[in-house]
Structure formats: structure tokens, C-alpha cells
Structure 1
Amino acid sequence: MTAPARRHDAAAPLVRVRGKDAHDRWQEALKIRQEWLDHGLSTQPADRRTAEDSLTAIYASMSRPRPRFTWVESPHQAIPLVAGLPTLDRLYERIRDPRPQGPPPPASDLAVVVSRLRAALSAGVSHPDPELSATRKGKDPWPELPPLEAFGIGVPLGVVLHQGVRTALHRSLAQGFRRPVLNTLAGGRPVPVCWYGQQDAAWIGYYDALHRLGLARYGPDALDHLGHWAALARSCGWWWPGEDVCVVVERPALVHTEPVPGTWHDEVRLRRGGVRYRDGWHPLLA
């Protein structure tokens, strides 16, 4: 009757020793994730000076001069001002065209700049970055489980961090916020390509978390560029990059969320009618 007890007692320290570092880093990651979720859902007035400085640096990364900034109080207010900017379909048409006409629009160049930045950040991660591949070689993807259970069956810390920071923030800020607002804004029509300021915090917060946890080392250029995107996510809402004018949206005045059922990482989504912008626009979410 004593043998099972001895086996149990021997196993417990092994789990603690093997899981200690991963568990501690996960606890730190939870705090960082909450910080970025708070930025993504912030209703504080925009920090216009920081946003404009960061956008100027991002324009410079495309070899473009500082644009003129037009601030609006909601995405709905922005639509008449960005009517001539390209939609996603138009950008894809340009990519497929062997001889595109005229110089590329800022949105096209910006997509390239962001793609290169994220590749550089992934290259600086100390473990195989699940951002590049979420699957195990020759096997199914890692299961998504509560963190302690995941560690217990050998899911690597890097995978848990990707699921619990990157994917969780994406569910809350992309699927739970910007997608339903964008669908309401579009009303079935294509909307010019934009970036999402505070709701771009999913990928920004993920790479920031890895860096702060000591699990990634970025080159000075990539770190500086990430810093501008991070400052932007902390300071404003959506934005549309034009050649001479950048249209930037204030952060919303009201945000009410609710938990997403059946998830492990405190994901949230907008409640029905749970967002109102500063001009009174109140998208009627399904």
C-alpha cells in the first residue's frame, strides 16, 4: 500500500522542477497579455502627438515623407475621406498584375514593410516560433489546453505563449472587436485597407512579451521599428495610410465586453451594442 504513495511523492518534485521556469514565465506573460489587452480596448482619448510621431516613422520606413494627419472620431466618419484608397481586392490585383500601372500605393508598401518586420522578429525568437509554423513535423498541431495541463503533457513554453498571448489577443481584438465593427462599417461593400492601431496589439504584444521574457533578441532596426508600432497601439485607433494624408481614428468612447465561451485564455468579445465612438456612432453588432 505504500508503493503508490512513494511513486506519487517522487513524481511531484520532478514536475515542479521541470515546470518551474515555464510556469514562472507564463505568470509574467499573463501580466503582459493583460497590459496589451487593456491597450486594445482602451477608451482613453488618443495621444495624438505620439501617434503622429510613430506614423511619421512608419512612413519613413517606406521612404515617404511625413503625411498630413486628419483625425476623425469614428471609422464611420473616416469612410468619406478614404474613398479613393485601395481595397484589399485592388491590392491583390496589383500583386497579380505582371505590369502594374503607376507607383505602388502606401498600403501596398506598408504591407511589405510589416511582413518583413514580422519575419525579422520571428528570426530573433530563441525557440522555433509558432508564428511561422503551428504544427509539429510529421504530426498534428499541438493541442490547445489550459496552460498547466499543456505543460503537464509536454507542450513547449513557446507554443503555450503563442496560444495564450498571440492567439488569445487575436481572438479578443481581431475576432472579438475589429471584425464585427468592420463588418458593420462595410455594410456588404469593400472598405479601403486600413491598419487598426490599438487592435493591432495581438502581434505587437506577442513579440513584445517574448522580448521582455528574455525569449527573443531583436536587431536594433527591428526593435526600433517594433517600438513605433507598439507606441501606435498604445495611442490611437484605426488608420488609413494615404499618399499625402493619413486618416486616423480616435479611440472609442465606450467598450463593453463579455467572455468568449469555451476558451482557456480569458478571451473576450464585444457585447451586442458594446462599442460607441466619440461622434456617437454606435455600430449595431449582431
Structure 2
Amino acid sequence: MTVRGKSAYDRWQEAFKIRQEWLDHGLSTQPADRRTAEHSLTLIYARMSRPKPRFEWVDSPDQAIPLVAGLPTLDQLYARIRDPRPRGKPPLASDLAMVASQLRGALSAGVSHLDPELSAARKGKHNEPSPELPPLKALDAGVPLGVVLHQGIRTALHRSLAHGFRMPIHNTLAAGGPVPVCWYGQQDAAWVAYYDALHRLGLAHYGPDELDHLGHWAALARSCGWWWPGEDVCIVVDRPELVRTEPVPGTWHDEVRLRRDGVRYRDGWYPLLT
């Protein structure tokens, strides 16, 4: 229960503040920091041996849809993976997904405990999943600190920013047809925050290259909204101008979701959420 002179309870209190910091980024309505976003995207492109793209900024995901026609959908990427003899060069989105996955794998390898991101934590003689409890009660019950941090940062932020924010908007866009694969900028904060928190808490050690790469994704989560990567053009969405959330009932980690009228973008677009 003690890590480098600090108790698990102390570590959780530090983690709570880090989680809030990243949730604030995920819900930010500040105008995009375009210079920072373009710099980080250029460096991510370089990791895939791609030249700097031309950046086209739009004010909402809805405004982006006509511009991303022709980029691959998730089903098309999966079909390529399943094809024993895929034709042509892999689309950039496929290479990007691989690069991001490799980064998360390398970061998990630097975690000082068994990372629940890679393997669901089990306990007890019947190998049942660790219970999800309020953080302090979980620690009192003997749930490992690493599990509490995964539940309280990675899972909690994913529920707030993926299930509670980007998925309802994505579903609205998908009503008009399949949406090409994109990444979510500020709403990608869940996994970024998790590995950032472990590093800041002294529970993970990453090499210089992993830290540099993680820093690019962290910069995007702090600086912009959704983005669609193309070979020549990268479409990037500004952050919304208004976000209203409400607590998710029955959760232990201050999880939130968009209200029905909870988001409006800078071009006036606001999806009606169900």
C-alpha cells in the first residue's frame, strides 16, 4: 500500500487532480491552439514517413463530413485486415492506428505493475474481476492501486469523453451514412491521461522516444478537436464553443455526459442528442 514513501491513498489523491485536469481538456471550449496542433500532427505524420500535410480547419464535425469523403471507414479498414492479399498501399489511417497501438503497447511495458490495460485484473481464489468501488473503499478492500487508477482514470475518462461525448455526436453524423475513421483530439484524453498520470505518479518509466511520442498526442488533446488524416490534407475541427454536461447517475468517479442540448460548435451546429 506504500509506493516510494507515499501511501496508495496519497497516490489516489494526486491521481484525482490529474484526472480532473484532463477532463477539463476533454471538455474545453477554448478556441483551438492551431499552431500546437499542426506541429504535433506534422510530427505524427513524420513517424509514418509521411510529409507534412496541408491543414484545413473547420468549425464542426458536421462541416468536415463533405471534405472527408473518400477516406476509409472502419469497416473498410477491417476488410483490408481480413483480406489475405490486400491491394495497394495501406491507407494512412491504417498506418496511424498501428503507430498509436504500438505506442500504447510500449507505454504499458513501462508500467511498474501489471497494467490492467493489457489484462483485466483478477482477484480471489475464483479469479473473479476486481470489484469497482469508490476509490478509497476499493483500496480498503485490498483492490490494488494499479487497478483503482485504471478504473478511476482510464475507464472513468473513457466513459465521460467517449460514451458521454463523442459517441452521441458520432452517431448523429452516422445517420447520414458511414463516417470515415477519425481521431478525436481532446476526447482522446482518456488513454493519454492514464499513461501521463502513471508517469507523474512514479508508477511508470518510459524511454525518451515514448515520452516524445506521448507528448504529441497529449498536445493534441490539449489543443484541438476531431481530426481526419489524409495523405495530402488533414481536416481538423476546432473545439466547440459551448459544452453542458450532467453527472452520470450511480458512478464512483465523477463521470459526466452531454446534456441533450449540451454541445454547440462555432458554426452554430448543435447535434440533437438522444
Structures share fold, TM-score greater than 0.5: yes
Counterpart of 2:78 in structure 1 is 92
Counterpart of 1:195 in structure 2 is 183
Do structure 1's residue 210 and structure 2's residue 198 form an aligned pair?
yes
Counterpart of 1:9 in structure 2 is none
Counterpart of 2:225 in structure 1 is 237
Q: Matched residue pairs, number?
A: 271
Identity %: 82
Do structure 1's residue 81 and structure 2's residue 56 form an aligned pair?
no
Q: Give the SS at the match of 2:244.
A: strand
Deviation, structure 1 residue 134: 1.4
Q: Give the whole-Å Cα distance in 1 for the aligned partners of 2:47 and 2:174.
A: 29
Pick one of 31, 39, 45 that aligns with 1:53: 39
Do structure 1's residue 260 and structure 2's residue 254 form an aligned pair?
no
Counterpart of 2:139 in structure 1 is 151
Q: Give the whole-Å Cα distance in 2 for the aligned partners of 1:77 and 1:208.
A: 32
Q: Give the SS at the match of 1:227.
A: helix
Q: Deviations over 1:46-85 (max 9, x none)?
A: 0000000000011011110100000000000000000110
Counterpart of 2:48 in structure 1 is 62
Deviation, structure 1 residue 101: 1.2
Counterpart of 1:227 in structure 2 is 215
Do structure 1's residue 116 and structure 2's residue 134 form an aligned pair?
no
Pick one of 141, 150, 155 that aligns with 2:129: 141
Q: Give the whole-Å Cα distance in 1 for the aligned partners of 2:260 and 2:188.
A: 22
Deviation, structure 1 residue 147: 0.9
Pick one of 79, 90, 108 that aligns with 1:104: 90
Q: Deviations over 1:208-229 (max 9, x none)?
A: 0000000000011111000000
- Report the more deviating stretch, 98-107 or 108-117: 98-107
Deviation, structure 1 residue 20: 6.1
Pick one of 160, 170, 173 that aligns with 1:185: 173
Counterpart of 1:7 in structure 2 is none
Q: Give the whole-Å Cα distance in 1 for the aligned partners of 2:240 and 2:167.
A: 15
Counterpart of 1:160 in structure 2 is 148
Counterpart of 2:237 in structure 1 is 249
CA RMSD in angstroms, aligned pairs only: 1.6
Q: Give the whole-Å Cα distance in 1 for the aligned partners of 2:22 and 2:94.
A: 27
**Contact 2:121-2:147 at 8 Å conserved across structures:** no
Do structure 1's residue 129 and structure 2's residue 115 form an aligned pair?
yes
Deviation, structure 1 residue 105: 0.8
Q: Give the whole-Å Cα distance in 2 for the aligned partners of 1:258 and 1:269.
A: 6
Q: Give the SS at the match of 1:234.
A: helix
Residue type matched to 2:260 in 1?
R
Do structure 1's residue 274 and structure 2's residue 257 form an aligned pair?
no
Deviation, structure 1 residue 141: 1.1
Q: Give the SS at the match of 2:228.
A: strand
Residue type matched to 1:152 in 2?
D
Q: Give the SS at the match of 1:70.
A: strand
Residue type matched to 1:189 in 2?
G
**Contact 2:55-2:236 at 8 Å conserved across structures:** yes
**TM-score of the two chains, using structure 2 as the length reference:** 0.96
Query: Would you tell me which structure has more helix in proportion to its own residues?
Result: 1
**TM-score of the two chains, using structure 1 as the length reference:** 0.92
Counterpart of 2:273 in structure 1 is 285
Residue type matched to 2:219 in 1?
A
Q: Give the whole-Å Cα distance in 1 for the aligned partners of 2:91 and 2:267.
A: 29
**Contact 2:116-2:146 at 8 Å conserved across structures:** yes
Counterpart of 2:161 in structure 1 is 173
Counterpart of 1:41 in structure 2 is 27
Q: Give the SS at the match of 1:231.
A: helix
Deviation, structure 1 residue 188: 5.7
Structure 2: any 5+ residue segments left out of the alignment?
none
Q: Give the SS at the match of 1:109.
A: helix
Deviation, structure 1 residue 16: 10
Counterpart of 1:21 in structure 2 is 7
- List, as ranges, runs of 4+ consecutive aligned residues in structure 1 with deviation greater than 3 Å: none
Q: Give the whole-Å Cα distance in 2 for the aligned partners of 1:153 and 1:232.
A: 37
Residues 81, 210 of structure 1: CA spacing in aligned structure 2 closer, same or farther, 3 A cutoff?
A: same
Deviation, structure 1 residue 102: 1.0
